[in-house]
Amino acid sequence: MRRYQLQPAAGEKEELELVLEDAPAPDPGPGEVRVRVTACSLNYRDLLMKRGQSASSAGGGVVPLSDGAGVVDSIGEGVTAWREGDRVMGAFFRDWRDGSFDMSYHQAARGGSCDGMLADFVVGPAESFVATPDYLTDAEAACLPCAGLTAWHGLFERGGLKAGQTVLALGTGGVSVFGLQLATAAGARVVITSSSDEKLAQAREFGAWETINYREHEDWDKRVWDITGKRGVDHVIEVGGPGTLGRSLNSVTAGGHIALIGVLTGFSAPDATLFPLVARNADLHGIYVGSVAMFERLNAFLAEKEIRPVIDRSFSFEEAEAAYAHLRSGEHVGKIVIEIR
Ligand SMILES: NC(=O)c1ccc[n+]([C@@H]2O[C@H](COP(=O)([O-])OP(=O)(O)OC[C@H]3O[C@@H](n4cnc5c(N)ncnc54)[C@H](OP(=O)(O)O)[C@@H]3O)[C@@H](O)[C@H]2O)c1
């Protein structure tokens, strides 16, 4: 079978290299299944992994990409949950099935501390796969495991989002566009920001209530304040990190909720006071993807509302490098997919 691995590059190159290689197709052990992967999607995390900016990717040697979907192809001893031909998606955390998070789950994060999905076949514990909703294509399903689940976890599992509330989503990448779609479908109104007016026009087509160009309006928190009648938003999907957290704190309403998710502006300390959080009696939750049980609840909601992930562009398996380059360019809206044939 074909698989990619992230390997240390020869010479002075700073990034790990994507290396395409032949390997024997793995056999499922007891309690495992083998999945023929048909589609993967990329996340910003995959750029961090390639740059070696994650402790779990620093040495390379793993199959990249947390997110993939495919078809169960071989069943290991004792597995009753799946049959050959079942359509499934891989869970980001292989071992986080339900309940609260345990730090040991970081030891098996697909595409980071253990092999990911960018291969013809993968094996894993039967319980680390989730049924693909019937109405979705495999390419659409491949968008869900990281970005979709993270937005769901932040807004619904921890944020308790309700109809009639307001949400602020930063930028038009994978997590934020899922946040826009999920919150809109639940009857919330979404303010979304972007560096591009064209992308904001697209976001309005996906249901955005209000849009702000954060390049034109560096003080976008003031715009959020005005748009919401000087009340602030109930939820913030905070994917920016230290460079945006201060303005996100200024944007949240009294008793509101910030889902702290991303590091688009880096890993340093925030450049702002955290006092607005105190003054507003607001909540700040760290969100790291989610469990299999959350993933199943997300899928039930998606199917009920018939939400289809937004795919910006699809690449072939051989074009994996170009898919990474497209993600790095930041030109996309929503998700970037690699289809495996
Ligand atoms: N904690 C978790 O579980 C988790 C899960 C998924 C992702 N993440 C993190 O969340 C972040 C987003 O991930 P993703 O996969 O959705 O990324 P992505 O698809 O690559 O999205 C990138 C987009 O974010 C926007 N952006 C960049 N810098 C920004 C800034 N300073 N302010 C506002 N928007 C900005 C840009 O949108 P415009 O072009 O529209 O401006 C850019 O195209 C990343 O840091 C990622 O590591 C964390």
Q: What is the mean pLDDT of each run of 10 residues along the chain (341 residues)?
A: 92 85 97 98 97 69 96 98 98 98 98 97 98 98 98 98 98 98 98 98 98 98 98 98 98 98 96 95 98 98 98 98 98 98 93
With a Cβ cut-off of 6 Å, ligand 1 is lined by 43-45, 146-147, 150, 170-175, 193-196, 199, 214, 239-240, 243-244, 261-265, 287-289, 327, 330
Spatial contact of 289 and 92, defined as CB atoms under 8 Å apart: yes
- The residue whose C-alpha atom lies closest to atom 46 belonging to ligand 1 is 262
Whole-number Å distance, alpha carbon 247 to ligand 1 midpoint, is 16
Domains of the chain: 2-143+309-339 (3.90.180.10), 148-286 (3.40.50.720)
Atom number in ligand 1 closest to CA 290: 3
Tell me, what DSSP letter sits at residue 109?
B
Q: Can you read off the two tokens belonging to residue 108?
A: 């098996």
Query: How buried is 102 (Cβ within 10 angstroms: 0-12 exposed, 13-18 middle, 19+ buried)?
Result: exposed
pTM of the predicted model, to two decimals? 0.98
HSE value, Cβ hemisphere, 13 Å, CA-based, for 97 = 5
Nearest CA to ligand 1 atom 22: 173
- pLDDT for 55 equals 58
Structure tokens at 84: 């050959």
**Which residue's CA is the closest to the ligand 1 atom numbered 11?**
262
Question: CA-to-CA distance for 143 and 125, rounded, in angstroms?
Answer: 21
CA-nearest residue, atom 43 of ligand 1: 330
223 three-class SS: helix
Give the per-residue pLDDT at 241: 97
pLDDT value for 128 = 98
How far apart CA 40 and CA 147 sit, in angstroms, is: 12
